[in-house]
């Protein structure tokens, strides 16, 4: 796993290992834009906690946009706090502006938001499919575009399509890093689970657990799969106890944005 994450960082993903707080410096085309960003974000909005001082945060960004309304980063910074506050429609208006001025950087981000935050899955598919046509199956927030398309089809109960896109994501990871992210393995296992292919599902849950031994979600669904296969109760009850224990300790998918949103099929212990 260490090798995988090191290589992912070196791969050059614009948002790798970042939450959508997106205070990462943008790539700038103009010196004047750089000065505006420095004044109104780094020395302006970023001095405030938007959870407490949303008005001040937004005012600084508005002042920057009055200087140059084509700076995509300022539009993205306006959008981001609203997504975290679950005001998705408000934020989407601003991120659409960011995409207009810098599509390569912000269209994949917008598609990610649609998948994980606003949960508009057909829109996610449409956005990421367009991204793939333009830039190939690249990465956004640690995962391939094909991963998010697969996740969206999974949520739309189109399991065959979900399986196909997760296979693409697996191949991309293997080619790029020689290792597969544990959540890709987990969700691929879920597609098997939903198709009642419980033995196959367990195979992929086991692969995910091998990488991440305290992976509560994979352990939970492995237990349920064993139950569905009418295995002896001692085989799955111990796993359920283990899954509950690890989840209470905070071990879950390991996605940065779990603090804002519940991911599909995420196990919640009582």
Sign of CA dihedral 98, 104, 109, 110: positive
196-227 pLDDT per residue, tens: 999 999 999 999 999 999 999 999 999 999 99
Q: Are 166 and 173 in contact (CB under 8 A)?
A: no
249 has pLDDT over 60: yes
Boundaries of every domain in the chain: 182-270
The structure tokens listed for 111 are 């598609």
The secondary structure of 93-112 as a DSSP string is HHHHHHHHH-HHHHHHHHHH
> For 47-54, what is the mean pLDDT?
96
The structure tokens listed for 44 are 């302006």
Predicted confidence at residue 29, as pLDDT, reads: 54
- CATH number of 182-270, picked from 3.20.20.70, 1.25.40.10, 3.40.50.300, 1.10.3720.10: 1.25.40.10
- List of residues 6+ apart from 184 with CB closer than 8 A: 143, 147, 166, 169, 170, 173
The structure tokens listed for 38 are 């420095």
102 has pLDDT over 70: yes
């Amino acid at each position: 796993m260490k090798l995988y994450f090191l290589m992912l960082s070196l791969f050059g993903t614009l948002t790798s290992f970042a939450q959508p707080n997106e205070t990462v410096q943008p790539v700038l085309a103009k010196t004047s834009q750089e000065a505006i960003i420095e004044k109104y974000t780094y020395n302006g909005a970023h001095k405030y906690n938007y959870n407490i001082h949303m008005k001040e945060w937004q005012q600084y960004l508005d002042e920057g946009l009055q200087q140059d309304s084509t700076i995509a980063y300022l539009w993205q910074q306006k959008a981001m706090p609203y997504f975290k506050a679950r005001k998705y429609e408000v934020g989407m208006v601003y991120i659409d502006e960011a995409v207009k001025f810098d599509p390569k950087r912000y269209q994949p981000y917008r598609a990610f938001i649609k998948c994980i935050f606003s949960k508009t899955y057909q829109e996610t598919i449409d956005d990421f499919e367009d991204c793939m046509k333009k830039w190939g199956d690249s990465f956004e927030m640690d995962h391939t575009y094909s991963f998010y398309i697969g996740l969206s089809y999974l949520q739309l109960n189109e399991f065959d399509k979900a399986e196909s896109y997760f296979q693409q994501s697996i191949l991309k990871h293997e080619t790029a890093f020689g290792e597969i992210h544990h959540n890709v393995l987990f969700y691929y296992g879920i597609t098997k689970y939903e198709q009642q292919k419980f033995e196959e599902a367990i195979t992929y849950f086991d692969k995910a657990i091998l990488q991440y031994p305290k992976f509560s979600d994979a352990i939970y669904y492995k237990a349920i799969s064993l139950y569905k296969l009418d295995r002896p109760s001692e085989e799955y009850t111990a796993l359920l106890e283990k899954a509950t224990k690890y989840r209470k300790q905070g071990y879950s998918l390991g996605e940065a944005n779990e603090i804002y949103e519940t991911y599909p099929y995420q196990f919640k212990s009582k």
